[in-house]
Structure 1
Amino acid sequence: MAEVRVTGGVVRGVTEDGVARFLGVPYAAPPFGANRMRPPAPVVPWSGTRDASAYGPTVPKGDYPDQYAPLFAEVVIPGDECLNLNVWTPEGAASLPVLVWIHGGAFVNGSGSVSAYDGSAFARDGVVCVTINYRLGPDGSLFTEGDQGTDNANLGLQDQVAALRWVRDNIAAFGGDPSRVTVAGESAGAMSVSTLLALPSADGLFAQAITQSGATAHTLTAEIGLTVARSFAERLGVDATREAIAAADLDLLVKTAEEFHNDAQAVPDPEKYGALAARVLVFAPVVDGVVLPRHPLDAVAGGASGNVRILLGSNRQEARLFLVAPGVIDLIDEAELTAGSAAYGLPPDGLETYRRNHPGASPGDLLAQVVSDWYFGVPAIRLAEAHERGGGRTWAYVFDRPRPEENHGFGSAHAVEIPYAFDTIDDPSIAPLIGPNPSRAVADSTHAVWVRFVTDGDPGWAPYTAATRTTGVLTETVTVVDDPRGEERAVWDGLV
């Protein structure tokens, strides 16, 4: 399978240890010039055979904040053909299930070329794996006054749809079955997947979905989207129109977007952003009324994704990433714990439930658990509940490794599960987050769950329902539990 014909022309990949990989394959035209800040345009055909042995250009984006940069190996590759994807497939494959991965990075960072997302292990186990780039920051999420009633909003999501259409039209040439596509993502990628469930243009492009540590709670209303656009334009020094922002110097726009996002995270302004201040994602999907007609949770509950099987979940200690990385978790005292929990809407008796169920935990540890549940755990449950109401089947998981003492205090923090799911734990760039001695048993059990779900549509335990709340707890093995930490889940009823 050295050469494959796809939309646009012929690509030549590389085969190693029985896995063929095709990297940097364009799925849409370069989003510059006449295509700047517009919906994705068709691939520009090429002549001859295109080399697909190396990752392609990445989209314009800034840097991770200093405290996170050592933990996440960012890839920056210059070039215009940044709307590209990568394919790993077993040599001689035919009619295999397909996994399409949408990366995270708060809608401002990341790419499909991050080494933790190497799809070789999936191909080894009989799954064709695809990872994609999509536009980030204002290029991907800008919503202005002039966009109302048009299809110019949510361009990052539209890129993802274009990639899924490319998969539908081309994946058979790589040995994949276009009727057996699972779309998956983590963090902003999971929020994207959750939104794709409700996107009319994505209907029929995938049969299954996996959402890791991200749901629909971070979707912006049109009003907040307009507020973000006006605030960003003011900072950039231009009018708050798509045309004016698109005409700005690209390097200046990227740098301004990076600073804008980082400042919103560091010093959120409730008066300006309302509920968005707590969620600290200024660039995110917007309910614009055209591309995304309804809030995803409402659409899912109404049956928009009733025919899609979903595996969803979160990590046990997500928020430790945001408290350990900046070195503040041990500085949090009782007063800050009380005030912080109240800021997230947790009443005093709810905090007492956490204290009772975590004896000996420090104030910082308790706040990390409260925020983990509010930001990630409970929104995943709300999506599962909505999917059940909409007639769909959902399987839930909680990832609960490593322990904090095994990986520099992070524990099962945000993004830690990714290399276990991809079975890329031996990549040295990942050690700062997962620790120097990651567990082979955890990788084997977690990766096997993903492969089984992608292949069979069943991870190995009963579906989640509001009556049973059956959940697979992922450690060195899979333990099936009904309503894990149910007391803590219940304190958020009516709040999240």
Structure 2
Amino acid sequence: MIMNLNSSVWTLLLVYVSFALCVTEFSPTVEIHQGRLRGVVKNDRKGGKFYSFLSVPYARKPVGNLRFMIPAWAEKWEGLLDAVSDLPMCLQHDLERNIIGQEDCLYLNVHTAELEAKDLKPVMVYIHGGGFAEGSGQDDLYGAEFLLPEGVVLVTINYRLGLFGFLNFENPEVGAFGNMGLKDQNMALRWVQRNIEKFGGNPKSVTIFGQSAGGASVHMHLLSPMSKGLFHRAIAQSGSALNAWSCNGQRDTGALVAKTLGFDGDSEMKMLPFLQSVSIEDILRIQENVTLFVPVHDLALASPVVETIDNEISFLPEHPEEIISAKGFQEVPFMIGYTDAEAIILDVEALLRTGNMGKLLTGSALLHTLNAKDEKTKEEITNQINSFYYGDLASTDRSKVYNLVGDAWVYWGAYNSLLAHSKMSHKDLYFYIFAADTELNYYKRLHPITSKYAGASHIDELGYLFKTKYTPPEINPDSVEAKSIEKVVKLWTNFAKYGNPTPKQEDFDIIWKPVIGDELNYLHIGTHDLKLGSNPYPERMAFWDRLHEEFTAKKLNLHTEL
């Protein structure tokens, strides 16, 4: 009887211990500044385990009297907070122009292979794109399965979008200065500094990286006095602060929106509480026609602006060009690049929205930076653009359209950014062109027509850095996809670890040369190989230089000034 009782007790103990071990393994917990979190266990692409903590609040809910205002620290909580569900989206429109997301959206995801590690790992913080009006840091598009085997900690973040993130008042006494979406990102970086050690991350080795509007955001953090000391390396993918759409928000949009929604009077001090009380549907109705492509030909309704104040809560006290020329940037290792066929996205978006190919009028690529105020000047510039890109006849060659769109929207801004930083003796500048073309180019494969196009569309490089909902369920280890993931992930994580994407020649049999002076050395990242090059598209870049010199009396061709 005693033996049987002891056996039963031992059996119960074993069951209890086994259950406890399972709970420990599948319910990782961590205590941060705000309270305790419970996450989930996942497997990376190489079969290793890692821990994900999802929808962690980093700032207070930006609702009520916090709508349009600078973010505040998230409140502490009691007990154990389940961090097991993916991020909510911030308010935005989907492809059918339906309202999706929620106003309470300032959360982030953290992925790590080791909690409270003795040897802290480099941290990579990703900032999503979407024209400052769309997107999220959700796990179904930015999964950590590819990056974590290389020994990094990954953080992905949300930030307020559209008017909720970029509405501004000209009167500084109102308090809504604009750039709140960028200040959300800044608050997330402060959260990382405060808490990331608990996740095994090194707060002294933080790399920020982002794509499109996220890439432009990365560059602006490099220039912002608010973000000094919060990161140590930066990667801007298909976006920079000198793109025509990056820092071109309209001024005093708070007054414009308030009056549009029926506010009676001129007191901006009263407009803010009015706008804080109206419905989200009313505000989103104002920006209903804001699309993924923020304009380059005109000022955007909801986009970053130079702020009307210059103090510790000013994110951009001056225009990016002025900050760079005064060497007011953080001189950290900086990588800028883009895809070889950015403008394929034009057709993907049009086909998904309307079922038809995209139409681009040359005027929509007429940069507002050319300052063409009258119709005669606009016509003259448009004629020069048509002549340069298309010749005497209307083009039926889609590649010519893509060259124009790519140059106007992405390439010329990256070119000027690199030259501007290089002119100010910024060291460790790396430039790339991404041209890999496999099944991982998920964005152009969203439609059967564009899936046949050669090259990498805007967004396509993300399929090599993150596991997404479009990633093939099985990737053969010997496939070109698997080899491409290894290559791209290694370049990006090397940069995050060392500030140099090719610190050892044996990794790639090639050394990626940095930009030196006006020599824009770059790495061409192809499907099967890596190639070195210098000064891509010289005639096209010189064309946009000449336009600006002619129509703005502003010499932007930095080659001759070095």
Q: Which residue of 2 aligns with 1:13?
A: 39
Residue number among 243, 261, 269 corresponding to 2:290 in the alignment:
261
Contact 2:419 2:518 in 1 (8 A): no
Measure, in 1, the Cα distance between the counterparts of 2:293 and 2:263.
19
Measure, in 1, the Cα distance between the counterparts of 2:292 and 2:129.
19
- Number of residue pairs the alignment of both structures matches: 462
Measure, in 2, the Cα distance between the counterparts of 1:348 and 1:79.
45
Shift of 1:321: 1.1
For normalisation by structure 2, the TM-score amounts to 0.74
Q: Which residue of 1 aligns with 2:30?
A: 4
Contact 1:425 1:443 in 2 (8 A): no
Q: Aligned partner of 2:485: which letter?
A: A
Q: Give the secondary-structure state (helix, strand or coil) at the position aligned to 2:516.
A: coil
Query: CA distance change for structure 1 residues 347 and 449 in 2, over 3 Å: closer, same or farther?
Result: farther
Q: Aligned partner of 1:83: which letter?
A: L
**Alignment of 1:475 onto 2:510:** no
Contact 2:170 2:308 in 1 (8 A): no
Question: Unpaired runs of 5+ in structure 1?
Answer: 266-275, 430-436
Contact 2:128 2:211 in 1 (8 A): yes
Q: Which residue of 1 aligns with 2:76?
A: 45
Shift of 1:324: 4.5
Q: Aligned partner of 2:284: which letter?
A: V
Query: CA distance change for structure 1 residues 124 and 424 in 2, over 3 Å: closer, same or farther?
Result: farther
Q: Aligned partner of 2:340: which letter?
A: R
Shift of 1:221: 5.7
Query: CA distance change for structure 1 residues 115 and 242 in 2, over 3 Å: closer, same or farther?
Result: same
Query: CA distance change for structure 1 residues 417 and 148 in 2, over 3 Å: closer, same or farther?
Result: farther
**Alignment of 1:156 onto 2:181:** yes
Contact 2:296 2:366 in 1 (8 A): no
- How large is the Cα RMSD of the aligned pairs? 3.3
**Alignment of 1:390 onto 2:432:** no
**Alignment of 1:133 onto 2:158:** yes
Residue number among 418, 422, 433 corresponding to 2:466 in the alignment:
422
More deviation, 323-332/173-182: 323-332
Contact 1:311 1:396 in 2 (8 A): yes
Q: Give the secondary-structure state (helix, strand or coil) at the position aligned to 1:492.
A: helix
Q: Which residue of 2 aligns with 1:28?
A: 59
More deviation, 31-40/278-287: 278-287
**Alignment of 1:443 onto 2:485:** yes
Measure, in 1, the Cα distance between the counterparts of 2:524 and 2:469.
19
Q: Which residue of 1 aligns with 2:509?
A: none
Query: CA distance change for structure 1 residues 422 and 465 in 2, over 3 Å: closer, same or farther?
Result: farther
Q: Which residue of 2 aligns with 1:278?
A: 297
Note the 1:348-427 alignment, pairs <5 A: 362-393=396-427, 394-402=429-437, 407-409=451-453, 411-422=455-466, 424=468, 427=471
Residue number among 267, 278, 284 corresponding to 1:248 in the alignment:
278
Contact 2:520 2:534 in 1 (8 A): yes
Q: Give the secondary-structure state (helix, strand or coil) at the position aligned to 2:168.
A: coil
For normalisation by structure 1, the TM-score amounts to 0.83
Question: Unpaired runs of 5+ in structure 2?
Answer: 1-24, 44-48, 371-380, 439-443, 474-478, 503-511, 549-562
Contact 1:117 1:424 in 2 (8 A): yes
Query: CA distance change for structure 1 residues 234 and 323 in 2, over 3 Å: closer, same or farther?
Result: farther
Deviation string 1:434-457 (CA, Å, 9 cap, x unpaired) is: xxx984443332222211111111
Shift of 1:297: 2.6
Contact 1:194 1:296 in 2 (8 A): no
Deviation string 1:347-370 (CA, Å, 9 cap, x unpaired) is: 7677666569xxxx8343202211
Shift of 1:463: 1.0
Residue number among 463, 471, 477 corresponding to 2:514 in the alignment:
463
Shift of 1:118: 1.1
Q: Aligned partner of 1:462: which letter?
A: K
Contact 2:170 2:177 in 1 (8 A): no
Measure, in 1, the Cα distance between the counterparts of 2:365 and 2:282.
37
